Amino acid sequence: MKKLLAVALLAAFALPADVPAEASAKAGSYIEAMYPLQQFMNESQIIAEGVIDKSDAKTKTCIVKITKSLKGKCPWTEIRMNIGVGQAWHPDAVMKHLVVGAPALFFTNGQGQCEIYINRFFNQLYADGQPPEKAWFTFTHIEIRCNRTFMGTTEELTKLVGDILAGKAKAPAPDPKVPPIGPQDVAALPVWGQKVEPDKLPVCFKKREPTHLTKPREPENPAGAVAGLTYEYFEGAWNELPDFDTLTPAAKGTTENFDLTKCKRQEQVGLRLRGFLQVPKDGVYNFTTISDDGSKLWIGKTEVVSNDGLHPPQEMVGDIHLKAGKHAITVTFFENSGGEHLEVFWDGPDLPRQKIPPTALFRAP
């Protein structure tokens, strides 16, 4: 049995507990975090500033010295963290960023569950129940989807939280179109103290320009286009989408829509569907894939939706500014084991959310 999707929040104290895809496949469920910063703050009895005082890569431990309470009275003067017991790739990824002198922001419900924000991402911890002077905190995982809640620096978040608590600012809404953090993103993120070039940040840490302000994409408008899509069907075992350009398809042909009817079996398969999408009028269009396992959607060479990796049926959204006409579209998909699922939706100006219909899809003759 594989991947039962549980879209839920913790009942006792709803700081997000976002289990990574690898753990999801093993445990059978995960919690999808879409968490407003204001709710995050409301449910934290204590919010405190800190600074990384010690970090030991050999023992995978770290000590954060608490410097100032922003909300409540923090009983801990130090947050002693055991990083090495965390999930999957997360301990090694986090250790790189535990730089002595780096600022941290600490949130807790006062009952043992904690979050600490370090260098643009949230991390979940649990206190061991010992008195503050003896307590150790067990690291579990990076909150890989809480970058939708906030994605700036620790200094920026600390100032924002202080302004919100003082009534000088409002908390921003989470952005569902920001992709989750992956191991490659944490590896590519500059550590605190290094020079940061905003345009070169991994996309999950990059502040998005409002799509309606971007220049609309010009359509290809191929001559003589006919109804349908081309497809390439592949067989293989993957944990993420492969580079289909390097593989030989087991079959190829044409199809009417984005679906899995061309797959010759249910497991260890891949599919690439390509064609042109008839966009009815100029404007910003939202695209959604719901897939089990991974999928991606491109318009031309622009990746609009990333829904990659091993997971149960999961919805991811992206948007792009388009001019009316026929635009090149590609959807890729893979299934490793268990249930398989693929749906592709769109909405836009005067166009309610719906599955992309065959009448909007074309291919070169």
Give the predicted TM-score (pTM) of the model.
Answer: 0.60
CA distance 252 to 155: 52
**Distance separating alpha carbons of residues 192 and 362, to the nearest angstrom:** 48
Please write the tens of the pLDDT for every residue from 217-256: 999 999 999 999 999 999 999 999 999 999 999 999 999 9
3-state class of 325 per DSSP?
strand
Query: What are the distances in angstroms from CA 218 to CA 210, 224, 302?
Result: 18, 18, 12
The closest alpha carbon to 16, from 3, 25, 7, belongs to 7
Average pLDDT over the chain, rounded to an integer: 87
Q: Which residues contact 36 (CB under 8 A, 6 or more apart)?
A: 149, 171, 173, 174
pLDDT tens digit sequence for 284-312 = 998 989 999 899 999 999 998 888 888 88
Domains, in order of start, for the chain: 21-188 (no CATH), 226-363 (2.60.120.1560)
Point out the least confidently predicted range of 190-204, 308-322, 349-363.
308-322
Closest CA to 81 of 137, 11, 22, 146: 137
Instruction: Give the residue among 132, 128, 91, 125 at the shortest CA–CA distance from 106.
Output: 125
